[in-house]
Amino acid sequence: MIEYETVAEAEASLGRALTWAETKWFEYSAAMPDYWLYCHTTIIVFVVYTLAPLPLLLLETFAPALVLPYKLQPKVLLPPTVSLRCFAEAAFFFIFAVPLQIIFHPAVAKVYQMMGTRMGLPLPSVNEIAAQLLVYSLVEDYLSYWIHRLLHTKWGYEKIHRVHHEFTAPTGFAMSYSHWAENLALSVPALVGPSIVPCHITTHWLWFTFRLIEGINIHSG
């Protein structure tokens, strides 16, 4: 929720006119409770996870000759039903995340507050966003590497990580097809960067979108 009652009050406080993006952000979020903005994160991630793998899936289904030569396993073509089953089972994690966020919104709000996430004005500059995304990428990549190493130990693989490897042929939807414990463990590195370098909630959404698309691309083969 933005602390200003009107655009004029916001401009007077900032000492300048609002940009087009800041005006739209004010109109959208000025009266919206913060915990609804927190829930946007899961909704955005779910939408991106649903839509981003579809172009390649459609190409593999209707024009396989265009993409199969460039895949790691060019002779393996997953039926669409298999990819959709992967999506349906992985989507279960997202579908229940929003209701849980609403039920436990005081705890969720506390996490965002501890991370120093901003909700109001001004919006971050392009340079600020770029610098933050660079830091988040480096931190997330480093920590995810070591967590992945631990998941490939005998105990980690047999108890947790084997679920992720049930789909031996690559598909973008397999990015989030994991044991619930692995999903939780690998969400931590994505949050460490924003905790070290606090950002605006919109940057948070952009970061998760970027990270998710990268992961989908990696798992697409």
Q: How far apart are CA 78 and CA 89, in angstroms?
A: 16
Please state, in angstroms and as integers, the Cα–Cα distance from residue 2 to each residue in 7, 60, 115, following that order.
Answer: 10, 45, 18
Q: What is the pLDDT along the chain (221 residues), one digit of tens a residue?
A: 678 888 999 999 999 999 999 999 999 998 888 888 888 888 898 899 999 999 988 888 888 888 888 888 888 878 888 888 888 888 877 777 767 776 777 777 788 888 999 999 999 999 999 999 999 999 999 999 999 999 999 999 999 999 998 887 778 888 888 898 998 899 899 999 999 999 999 999 999 999 999 999 988 88
Looking at the whole model, is its pTM more than 0.85?
yes
Pair of tokens at residue 148: 């992945």
Q: How far apart are CA 19 and CA 162, in angstroms?
A: 49
Amino acid 138 reads L
